Structure 1
Amino acid sequence: MTIPGTLDNHIGGKEVAARGGGRIEKFDPATGELQSTIARSGAADVDDAVKAAKAAQPGWAATPAVQRGQVLHTIANLMEARADELGAVVAAETGKSRKEGKGEVGAAVQCARFFAGEGQRLFGRTIPSGTPGKLNLTVRTPAGVAGLIIAANTPIANVAWKLFPALICGNGVVLKAAEDTPFTASWTARVALEAGLPAGLFNVVHGLGAEAGEPLVVHDEVDVVSFTGSTRVGRRLAELAGPRLKKISLELGGKNPFVVMDDADLDKAVRWAALSAFSNAGQRCAAGSRIILHDAIFDAFKAKFVAATEALKLGNADTDDLGPVINARQLGNMLAAIERAKEKGAVVLAGGSRMDRPGYFMMPTIIENFGPDDEITETELFGPITCLYRATSFDHAVELANGTPFGLTACIHTRSFDRGLLFCERVRAGVTVINAGTHGSEAHMPFGGRGLSGNGSREPGTEALDVYSELKNIALNVDPAQT
């Protein structure tokens, strides 16, 4: 799939250039070469998109939810039929292999179908009243216009996780696409229009976060905001939404612990540790960036893990294990963080540098010998970098796991049923896993974290319906005298 040389906003069912005429250069992560230029939108463009969504939303809200689901099914069918094409778009924009890109499309299709089915299950409740002749019930009503802001790491999955629950609940949508994966979002908007989604209901604006994302958050006609991205930006958006009492869902970063106990299957643990830390070039909020090892198996695990890491193949072919990081800025931030850690005494066991080839390839990196409060422990680097920690006991491992202000995902490898369940109970995380990886959530499962990992909301799963709808209580009163 050829990425277009220029890409404009998708507003009101049409491709529209930014009002200011500005453009942003977008580079190919696998080569470092200029890939396309995209619209550099501002507040006026966001306003156009919000007005289009607001105009289209009442008709969509009046459409029965079951019929809304049928449109989502059609979108899913078109995405599946064109999975090779869309997978190639994802691969070209991110530098992933086509195999990975197509696999991500499959996950997005599953998400679309799940929420299409929720059109038949937008359940409310009946609630007994203490007053004779009174019946209470609750129904879900649309929030109105949803402002969606996504990250570039898994672009079509990120679109799906927010777009489809927002639509099934009856909302109009304005999506601020990630500037590093703009065409994935625009491709989806075009296909949704083809599938029968009303023009103007799903709009895509391109641009920088401060210039296009922030105006979307503060717009008076945007009723709910959902953001996936860094904790730093999430804090900023929360500050903007707070004074406006605006509903906002924040899915933020993680420094996720991957715990290996002394009774674990080490080969299995090493395999899952490598996937957790390095798959998708480590660009997962759920990446296993802190590997906590029981003292008894520390050296044995380290030797196996270093060997497995050094055997990984970098590139964007289907036979490669990981591709590049998304842009030059991210790569530079990672390299600088590693150098600062080394200056404080950290030891690089594997990787630690960029690959000697064009593009933004970061060698998969393992680091040890640093303090629990060092930057490398406290800061999400969002790349193929992980750190080793030594635990003297199960209790110490849990203490280390809970030793950062993040709380997104966590994993433990152990043969002990008791240890596994106790870990899941005690670890501060929104997602916990036994004997697998720190990643791997599915469309029907709630995902989100606590602390610096989010504000307590969950997407996707049926819990996402709470983000994009409002509950209305209806009281029905019967007058016996009228019977």
Structure 2
Amino acid sequence: MAVEQRNYVDGEWIESETGETVSVENPASPDEIVARYQQSNAADAHRAIEAASNAAEEWAATPGPERGAILTETSRILADRKAELTELLVREEGKTRGEAGGEVQRAIDIFSYYGAKTHDLGGTVKSASGPQTTLYTVKEPLGVVGLITPWNYPIAIPAWKLAPALATGNVAVLKPASQAPGVAHAIFEALDEAGLPDGVANVVTGPGSSVGEELVTSEGVDAISFTGSTAVGNTVYEQATEDGKRVQLEMGGKNPTIVADSADVDEAADIVAAGAFGVTGQACTACSRAIVHTDVYDEFVEAVVERAAAIEPGPGLEESDMGPHVSKDELESTLEYIDIAQEEGAALETGGSALDRAGYYVEPTVFADVEPSSRLAQEEVFGPVLAVLEVEDFDDALAVANDVDYGLSASIVTDDHTEANRFIDEIEAGVAKVNAKTTGLELHVPFGGMKASSSETWREQGDEGLEFYTIEKTVYDNY
């Protein structure tokens, strides 16, 4: 029997005012209901905002290392539950066990990292122009922050928003995506067990049109951090900035890997396949375009097709190579883009079909002879679909790579040091990688995009992840 989960508000697990729930199914076996979550409304979100506001002053006054101790203990509790949470993530979102375990470990590491960072929080001391004056800065929390997170990294992204927010003395309300909220709930169970004071962090499940909109528009919320689609993110930005909220957006991507004529083709195929088909292509940093020099184009297409065709999709708990899409809607969206690509004249080299079995599976798909102006080469396809484009030289490759609305992650495979450095200098992306896949991030360095992939305001993770949640005050102490 499926478990019914509640909202966590003001230190208590409570039902929503609607009295309604929404079911989350296992995408590998849609007849299996994993859990039911509250179908909350704006009133529920408002209640959580009020609880956070009431807790804000005391939490902000709590010494940083004391806050850090709670985050560190949260990390330990999550680590103790890693196997359980890995299985829950697989059952709700569809990742393979290895992918899910890696994501849970990332959340564990994030809470540990920011727990330790609380010992280093503070401002700077400067030399004053006059005598008997101490001139320095202090950093203060913003207050109540609203956090809106997607389903594709359902524990890592909530962790990398919550942990720095709490470390810097803010209070928070999280709205996780409805498709896979279970592991986000587990974070709050761990925070509660670790001794987090009531009201400091709250989680409310429900639609973006009610819960999300209340967070974005409420006068009681001081800042919004959003990860999701570009279309929704742009609406969030417009609404949130109307009353002066600080806003952080991370959105879509159309991420390229350039394959130079000097590249080892087998290595390039391994890198591109890992970036394109890992996590079923359901990552904002997934490689969706391979931009390949004409001298190695045919060889590369053959190699990457071989790797795609060897991938066996299946249930994540069965140690399959690739899991299902998270939902029927996501599967249908991917299949629609496959149809569009064929209508546009791209050459289907492998894959292209849904699997004839229970679950939301699609074959890893490779298209060759893709035109740079085509929809397949321009629009985000949130699935395991790779477009291979042929270019004449390195300058052409850079031009094609940059000729999209997005700019999140990009990589190049090359043995030419000059090309590598020019790529770093000239690529229009927030993450640039040399001889590496577009996916995969370190937690202690900034993450964010350019152009339509980001608000281009504040970065996440690392020290930059702390900056978004603080405001600086300059102090002139004339003694």
Contact 2:87/2:317 (8 A) holds in 1:
no
SS of the aligned residue for 1:222 comes to coil
1:426 is aligned to: 426
Is 1:411 paired with 2:374?
A: no
1:93-152 per-position Cα deviation (integer Å, ceiling 9, x unaligned): 112233322221111111111111110111311233444443321111011011001011
2:294 is aligned to: 295
Contact 1:446/1:461 (8 A) holds in 2:
yes
2:26 to 25, 28, 47: 28
Compute the displacement of 1:368 (Å): 2.6
2:249 is aligned to: 250
1:6 is aligned to: 4
Give me the CA root mean square deviation: 1.4
Contact 1:408/1:429 (8 A) holds in 2:
yes
Number of positions where the alignment pairs a residue of Structure 1 with one of Structure 2:
476
Contact 1:100/1:318 (8 A) holds in 2:
no
1:374-429 per-position Cα deviation (integer Å, ceiling 9, x unaligned): 22122112111110111111111111110101111110001111111111111011
What percent of counterpart residues are identical? 37
Compute the displacement of 1:475 (Å): 1.3
Contact 2:41/2:210 (8 A) holds in 1:
yes
Is 1:367 paired with 2:367?
A: yes
1:433-474 per-position Cα deviation (integer Å, ceiling 9, x unaligned): 011100111211110001110012211111011111111111
1:348 is aligned to: 348
Compute the displacement of 1:272 (Å): 1.1
Is 1:185 paired with 2:184?
A: yes
Question: Which amino acid in the other structure matches residue 302 of structure 1?
Answer: V
SS of the aligned residue for 1:155 comes to coil
Compute the displacement of 1:260 (Å): 0.6
Contact 2:34/2:91 (8 A) holds in 1:
no
Contact 2:96/2:279 (8 A) holds in 1:
no
Contact 2:97/2:319 (8 A) holds in 1:
no
Is 1:259 paired with 2:258?
A: yes
1:467 is aligned to: 468
1:156-203 per-position Cα deviation (integer Å, ceiling 9, x unaligned): 111111010010010111000110111111111111100111122111
How do residues 177-326 of structure 1 correspond to structure 2 at under 5 angstroms? 177-315=176-314, 316-317=316-317, 319-326=319-326
Q: Distance in 1 between matches of 2:283 and 2:94?
A: 15
What 5-or-longer segments of structure 2 have no aligned partner?
Answer: none
Compute the displacement of 1:310 (Å): 0.1
SS of the aligned residue for 1:123 comes to coil
Q: Distance in 2 between matches of 1:158 and 1:408?
A: 16
Question: Which amino acid in the other structure matches residue 98 of structure 1?
Answer: R
SS of the aligned residue for 2:155 comes to helix
2:398 is aligned to: 398
Q: Distance in 2 between matches of 1:110 and 1:25?
A: 30
Q: Distance in 1 between matches of 2:362 and 2:135?
A: 58
Compute the displacement of 1:36 (Å): 2.9
What 5-or-longer segments of structure 1 have no aligned partner?
Answer: 479-483
1:150 is aligned to: 149
Is 1:382 paired with 2:382?
A: yes
The 10-residue stretch of structure 1 (88-97 or 451-460) with the greater mean CA deviation from structure 2: 88-97
How do residues 32-51 of structure 1 correspond to structure 2 at under 5 angstroms? 32-33=30-31, 34-51=33-50
1:451 is aligned to: 451
2:70 is aligned to: 71
The 10-residue stretch of structure 1 (244-253 or 30-39) with the greater mean CA deviation from structure 2: 30-39
* Inter-CA distance 317–7: structure 2 relative to 1 (3 Å threshold): closer
Compute the displacement of 1:13 (Å): 1.7
1:172 is aligned to: 171
2:14 is aligned to: 16
Q: Distance in 1 between matches of 2:265 and 2:17?
A: 57
Q: Distance in 1 between matches of 2:15 and 2:374?
A: 45
Q: Distance in 1 between matches of 2:318 and 2:166?
A: 34
Q: Distance in 2 between matches of 1:202 and 1:47?
A: 14
Compute the displacement of 1:292 (Å): 0.4
Question: Which amino acid in the other structure matches residue 276 of structure 2?
Answer: A
Is 1:127 paired with 2:126?
A: yes
Q: Distance in 2 between matches of 1:5 and 1:138?
A: 49
1:14-54 per-position Cα deviation (integer Å, ceiling 9, x unaligned): 22111122322322111122333321111100001111111
The 10-residue stretch of structure 1 (175-184 or 318-327) with the greater mean CA deviation from structure 2: 318-327
2:438 is aligned to: 438
SS of the aligned residue for 2:462 comes to coil
Q: Distance in 1 between matches of 2:296 and 2:122?
A: 50
SS of the aligned residue for 2:29 comes to coil
1:221-256 per-position Cα deviation (integer Å, ceiling 9, x unaligned): 111110111101101101111211110100111001
The 10-residue stretch of structure 1 (116-125 or 365-374) with the greater mean CA deviation from structure 2: 365-374
TM-score (normalised: structure 2)? 0.97
SS of the aligned residue for 2:158 comes to helix
1:481 is aligned to: none
Q: Distance in 2 between matches of 1:318 and 1:416?
A: 41
Q: Distance in 2 between matches of 1:189 and 1:263?
A: 49
* Inter-CA distance 318–136: structure 2 relative to 1 (3 Å threshold): farther
* Inter-CA distance 318–413: structure 2 relative to 1 (3 Å threshold): farther
Q: Distance in 1 between matches of 2:390 and 2:425?
A: 21
